[in-house]
Structure 1
């Protein structure tokens, strides 16, 4: 996967594992992903969550005839974090013809839940 020039590169997001219906990714909590007060930026968590759901959805469509795009995302930020690594685990909850729904848990190194997100992906035909 070519990350050069993408948000994944800018935020230091890395793919750890991808299987059908499940994606695991990591992201550092550092100067790229902190808000001005020194804590993990909620937007960075959302970017990580949507990236994981997007890669998972892309793996489940026919790339010759279909595209997938984020349609909706929500996030509940449970705990703050100043440094280290967070790990997102995205799992598919619904795989329909035109939509997919993914649940994404973002946890710290100790397993504490940092962010709980749900992302709906649209599946559209290529024109």
Structure 2
């Protein structure tokens, strides 16, 4: 505690207040997120709701890797999730092509959120298998469109087919099959 007080110019409360404010913002963001996901389990979110959905993930510290990557959700509804990523220099492997891990991450996010929506936002879901095949490359400046649709929606297991296409020509870049487990514990 003494080191923390010295590091904060003699005020340990400044750090605690900032942490508390960040945690409060995160909780508020999670409440907004849950409200929107619950609505999406019944009908697709409107453009206005999508804007709130995207800002909630980015502005409240709940978007994690998706915020870091720069993903943007363009459709969130009961049967389909669609998101976009503008490929930038940070997404590339040394040969100037989008890193395969980007597609895997996009697939995991799209399928997991789709699975949570499909459960009515009542039970958590977790990815248990992510299999992504690569067909074509994306380069910096191109936009990847990721679309998740259900193959199988069971009580304890779901399978999602996720296609990654290039926005400019709609060519298939990669395909992810994501199997997720539906956990038997309500939120």
Specify the TM-score bucket, using the shorter chain as the normaliser: over 0.9
2:165 to 85, 103, 107: 107
- Give the Å deviation of 1:62: 4.5
User: What TM-score do the two structures reach when normalised by structure 1?
Assistant: 0.92
Query: Cα–Cα, structure 1 residues 91 and 62, in superposed 2: closer, same or farther, change >3 Å?
Result: closer
2:138 to 63, 78, 81: 81
- Give the Å deviation of 1:32: 2.5
Greater share of helix: 2
Aligned residues, how many?
A: 126
Alpha-carbon distance in 2 for matches of 1:32, 1:97: 38
- CA deviations on 1:55-99 (whole Å, 9 max, x unpaired) are 1011122544x2100110101100012121000111001000001
User: What TM-score do the two structures reach when normalised by structure 2?
Assistant: 0.64
Alpha-carbon distance in 1 for matches of 2:113, 2:134: 22
- Higher Cα radius of gyration: 2
- 1:27 match: secondary structure: strand
Moved over 3 A (4+): none
Greater share of strand: 1
Alpha-carbon distance in 1 for matches of 2:175, 2:137: 13
